[in-house]
Amino acid sequence: MSEQHGKTYRSWDPERYRHEAQSPAAKLPEGDLVFFLLDTVPRLNLGRVYAPYETETRGAPPFDPAMMVCLLLYAYCVGVFSSRKIALACERNLAFMAIVGQERPDFRTISDFRKQHLAAFKEVFVQVVRLAGEAGLVKLGNVSTDGTKIQGNASRHKAMSYGYMQKAVERLREEIEALVTAAYQQDEAEDAALGSRRGDELPAELARREQRLATIEAAMQRLEAQAQAEAEAERQHRAAAEAERQRTGKPHRGKALKPVSESPDEKAQSNFTDPELHIMPTNNKGWDYCGNAQASVDAACQIIVACDVTDAPNDKRQAEPMAQATRANLAQAGIESSQDEAGKAQAIPATLDNGYYSEAAAQALEDLGFDPYMATGRQKHHAPAAEASDAPASAKERMAAKVRTPEGKALYARRKVIVEPVFGQIKETRGFRRFLLRGLAKIRGEWCLVCLTHNLLKLWRYGSAQSAA
C-alpha cells in the first residue's frame, strides 16, 4: 500500500506477479469453454489429421495435431480467425495458454496447419453432429435451409469486365509486337557492334506484358466457359417451361424471348485475386465478391446438419445438393428419422424460402426422403390470405396450397427462427464476415470449420444448462 494516498487500495505487487506461475485452471471458471473443448477433442477420431505426420521423419518433431485442432476450434468459437491473432493470444490469453502450455506455435504454423487439414475438418463436422445427436439436440422435426453472402478475400479493384478485357488484350498485343520489333533492332545493332549474344534474354517490359496478357486471356476463357454453361442452363429452363405449357395448354404470353447467347456480357467481370468468386448483390444493396454460404439447420437446438459454399449468386439450384449433404451427414452420424407404426422411416419436414423453389427441386427433396414446404413466391407482410384453389393444377400451385394449410403455415413460420438466427450468431456474435482463404475448395473448408464450431458452442451451452439445472 502506498503511503502517499489516504485511501486503501487492494494490494498490488507487479514484481511478484511477474515471477509467479499462472495456472489457467486456477484462474478460469470451472465450466469454461476451453475445458469443454479439452475434454471433447480426445473423443474425436483425428486419424486423418495425424496421418501425414506418421511417416514423416525429417525435421523437428511437429506440434501434437490434437493440440492444434483444439486451438483452432477454440479460436473460431470465440471469434479469433486470423492466424497472427491466434498466435498472439497463445502468449497473452489464459484460455489459449490452457491449450498450448509452453509449446506455442507461431502464426505461420497455425496458418499452414489450417490449410493442410481443411478436408479433415469435414469429417470432424460429422463427428460433432453425431455428438449432438447423442445429446438429444437433433430431432429432425423441421430442417430449414438458407444461404447468406459472405465476403471473399478478393479486391474489387483487382477485377476487369469482359469488354475491357477485349480492349486490353488488343492493346497488349500491339505493345508486345512493338517491343519485340525494338528488341530485334537492338539485337542487330549490338551484333554488329559487339558480336553475337545468347539470344534468350527478354526485356523486362516485354516479359511483364506477356504475363499480363496470359492472365487476362485466362480470365476471358473463364468468363466464356461460364457464359456457355449459363446458356445451356437457360435452354433447359426454356424447354421445361415450354413442355409445361404444352401439357397445360396455356398460350405463351409476353414478348418473344431473345435468342440464347453463349457470349459473355461486356459487363461480366472476373477477379484476378480469387477468380473462382463472382460479384454478388449484398444485403446493403451493394455488390461485392462473395461466397454464397449454405446451411441446413435442425429446429430443436439450431444444430447445423449440412453446410456448403457455392459461387452461384442465388439459391435456385442448391436445394437438392443441400438435401443430399444432409442425408449423407445424418447417415454417417447414425441419426435416423422417426418411424411410423409400421416401422417405416417418416419423411423429414424441410422448409425453404422461395429462392429455392422449382418443381424439380421439390421432387428431388421428396425422392431423398424429405417432406418439403417451399414458398413459391415472395410473401407480402399483412397481406390477406389468398383463397385456395379447389383443385391445384400445377406442381407449383400444389406446393403453394400445401404451405397455406395450418400445418404448412406452422412449419414454415418456424423457418425464420431456425436458420436465420444461426447466420446472425455467426456474423454478428462471432464476427465472421469475410473468408480468409482463397479458392472455392478452401472457402468450403473454412465455412465447414465455422459451422463445426457453431455446433460445439451449442453442445457446450446445452451441457452448461444441464449442469445448472
Model confidence at 144, pLDDT cuts 50, 70, 90, reads very high
Model confidence at 391, pLDDT cuts 50, 70, 90, reads low
In the predicted model, what is the mean pLDDT of residues 204-220?
75
Query: How confident is the model at residue 3, as a pLDDT?
Result: 46
Query: How confident is the model at residue 115, as a pLDDT?
Result: 94
Model confidence at 415, pLDDT cuts 50, 70, 90, reads very high
Query: How confident is the model at residue 190, as a pLDDT?
Result: 62
In the predicted model, what is the mean pLDDT of residues 7-16?
60
Element (DSSP H or E) covering residue 345: none
* CA-wise closest residue to 407 among 367, 347, 317: 347
In the predicted model, what is the mean pLDDT of residues 72-94?
95
pLDDT tens digits for range 375-386: 988 766 554 555
* CA-wise closest residue to 53 among 41, 43, 40, 66: 66
Give me the phi and psi of 370, to 5 degrees please. Answer: -110, 155
Say whether 206 sits in a helix, a strand or coil: helix
Q: Are 110 and 83 in contact (CB under 8 A)?
A: yes
* CA-wise closest residue to 456 among 67, 76, 48: 76
Find the angle CA(392)-CA(396)-CA(399) to the nearest 5 degrees.
Answer: 80
User: Which residues, at least 6 apart from 370, have a Cβ–Cβ distance to it below 8 Å?
Assistant: 143, 323, 347, 348, 349, 350
Say whether 144 sits in a helix, a strand or coil: strand
Identify the weakest region by mean pLDDT among 28-32, 45-49, 426-430.
Answer: 28-32
Q: Which three cell numbers stand for residue 449?
A: 470449420
Pairing between strand 278-281 and 287-298? Answer: antiparallel
pLDDT at 419 over 90: yes
In the predicted model, what is the mean pLDDT of residues 432-450?
94
Q: Are 205 and 165 in contact (CB under 8 A)?
A: no
User: Which residues, at least 6 apart from 208, have a Cβ–Cβ distance to it below 8 Å?
Assistant: none
Query: How confident is the model at residue 195, as a pLDDT?
Result: 52
Query: In this structure, what is the dihedral angle of CA atoms 92, 94, 98, 101, given to the nearest 10 degrees?
Result: 30
Query: How confident is the model at residue 2, as a pLDDT?
Result: 41
What 3 state SS string does the chain have?
CCCCCCCCCCCCCHHHHHHCCCCHHHHCCCCCHHHHHHHHHHHCCCHHHHHHHHCCCCCCCCCCHHHHHHHHHHHHHCCCCCHHHHHHHHHHCHHHHHHHCCCCCCHHHHHHHHHHCHHHHHHHHHHHHHHHHHCCCCCCCCEEEEEEEEECCCCHHHEEEHHHHHHHHHHHHHHHHHHHHHHHHHHHHHHHHHCCCCCCCCCHHHHHHHHHHHHHHHHHHHHHHHHHHHHHHHHHHHHHHHHHHHHHCCCCCCCCCCCCCCCCCCCCEEECCCCCCEEEECCCCCEEEEEEEEEEEECCCCCEEEEEEECCCCCCCCHHHHHHHHHHHHHHHCCCCCECCCCCECCEEEEECHHHCCHHHHHHHHHCCEEEEECCCCCCCCCCCCCCCCCCCCHHHHHHHHHHCHHHHHHHHHHHHCCHHHHHHHHHHCCCCECCCCCHHHHHHHHHHHHHHHHHHHHHHHHHHHHHC
Model confidence at 1, pLDDT cuts 50, 70, 90, reads very low
Positive or negative, the CA dihedral 74, 459, 135, 424 is negative
Q: Are 57 and 137 in contact (CB under 8 A)?
A: no
- Total-model pTM: 0.79
Model confidence at 255, pLDDT cuts 50, 70, 90, reads confident
In the predicted model, what is the mean pLDDT of residues 421-428?
96
Percentage of the chain modeled with pLDDT above 70: 84
Say whether 267 sits in a helix, a strand or coil: coil
Place of cell 411410423: 340
In the predicted model, what is the mean pLDDT of residues 126-132?
96
pLDDT at 388 over 90: no
Query: How confident is the model at residue 425, as a pLDDT?
Result: 96
Q: Are 49 and 117 in contact (CB under 8 A)?
A: yes
| Higher pLDDT, residue 316 or 214 | 316
Place of cell 456480357: 265
pLDDT tens digits for range 275-332: 777 778 877 667 888 899 999 999 999 999 999 999 888 898 999 999 999 999 999 9
**What is the average pLDDT score of the chain?**
83
* CA-wise closest residue to 80 among 121, 34, 120, 45: 34
Query: How confident is the model at residue 277, as a pLDDT?
Result: 79
Pairing between strand 304-310 and 287-298? Answer: antiparallel
